[in-house]
Structure 1
Amino acid sequence: MTKEDLGHLIIASTDSLYRISKSILRNETDCEDAVSEAIVKSFDKINTLQHASYAKTWLVRILINECYRIYRQKQFAPSNDFTFKENLSDEADYSELYHAMMQLDDKYRIPVELYYIEGYKIHEITDILNRSEGTIKSQLARGRQQLRKYLESEAAQ
């Protein structure tokens, strides 16, 4: 894959990359930083891409790694006092489904985002997240279950 081809892929994937970073980081500025850094790293490491057919999966994997680097750097670990609920007022324009998705644990939210929102196949998600197919399937099922519970409880209120 040439750098020009990678540039075209990045342009075509910008919205998708942002949504994926948003499912991990939540903060607009951090998402933009993660996408920017992932783009820079992908151009720097284009020679590590072995098959052009896996370019988008490879790019998403770089983005996810960058998101987790920023996440660790900001110390948004569960032991920190940061919670999504404290920041809902900043995100009042987002849909009810988005808020429900943000209630999911990362281990469920990211596979759900990749499968249902971004349209990746299960075998592609296994490559991106470096997890087994069975794990991805069970995380999707549990994520759907948690979403259903959350949305039903919100509807009852």
Structure 2
Amino acid sequence: MKKEELGELILASQDAMYHVAKTLLYNDADCADAIQEAIVKAFSKVDTLKKDAYGKTWLMRILINECYGIMRREKRVVSLEDYRQEEKAEERKDYSELYEAIYRLPEEMRLSVTLYYLEGYGVREIAAMTEATESAVKNRLARARQRLRKELTGQAAQ
């Protein structure tokens, strides 16, 4: 893949990259950092991509690794619930109950759901990106659907 083609791929994947980063990091500044670092790494390692057809999957894998790197570097003392309650008032006024329920899922399930339903990746591609087996991805999606169904129908009954 040429650098020009990579640039076009990055421009076409902006929204997807943001959704994946936001799924893992929550904070918009951290998301921007992860995306920027992923783009820099992609351009510097473009010659390692073996098949152009897997360019987007390769780019998302780099982004996921960057997100995990940021998470490791910034182990926060604030609990996730405290952070989310503060952030809810500021940034998430327009998010639906479904998005809130997705954000409450465990990380592996949340990432699989985001990649599958919001970004349209297939099970095989998600398995490659997350370095998991296809059956593990299918199980995560099934468990996530079950949890979401319980939570959302439980909320509706209240």
Q: TM-score range by the shorter chain?
A: over 0.9
Most deviating of 24-33 and 2-11:
24-33
Give the letter for the 2:140 counterpart. Q
Counterpart for residue 55 of structure 1:
55
Q: Secondary structure at the match of 1:119?
A: coil
Counterpart for residue 104 of structure 1:
105
Tell me how far 1:156 sits from its aligned partner: 2.1
Tell me how far 1:10 sits from its aligned partner: 0.3
Aligned counterparts of 2:21 and 2:78: Cα–Cα separation in 1: 20
Q: TM-score, normalised by structure 1?
A: 0.93
Counterpart for residue 96 of structure 2:
95
Counterpart for residue 82 of structure 1:
80
Aligned counterparts of 2:107 and 2:73: Cα–Cα separation in 1: 17
Aligned counterparts of 1:153 and 1:86: Cα–Cα separation in 2: 24
How many percent of aligned residue pairs carry the same amino acid? 48
| Matching of residue 115 in structure 1 with residue 113 in structure 2 | no
Q: Secondary structure at the match of 1:53?
A: helix
Q: Secondary structure at the match of 2:13?
A: helix
> RMSD over aligned Cα, in angstroms?
1.3
Q: TM-score, normalised by structure 2?
A: 0.93
Counterpart for residue 144 of structure 1:
145
Q: Which runs of 5 or more residues in structure 1 are unaligned?
A: none
Aligned counterparts of 2:127 and 2:153: Cα–Cα separation in 1: 30
Give the letter for the 1:81 counterpart. S
Give the letter for the 1:53 counterpart. A
Paired positions, count:
155
Tell me how far 1:85 sits from its aligned partner: 3.7
Aligned counterparts of 2:79 and 2:43: Cα–Cα separation in 1: 36
Aligned counterparts of 2:34 and 2:47: Cα–Cα separation in 1: 21
Aligned counterparts of 2:80 and 2:19: Cα–Cα separation in 1: 21
Most deviating of 105-114 and 67-76:
67-76
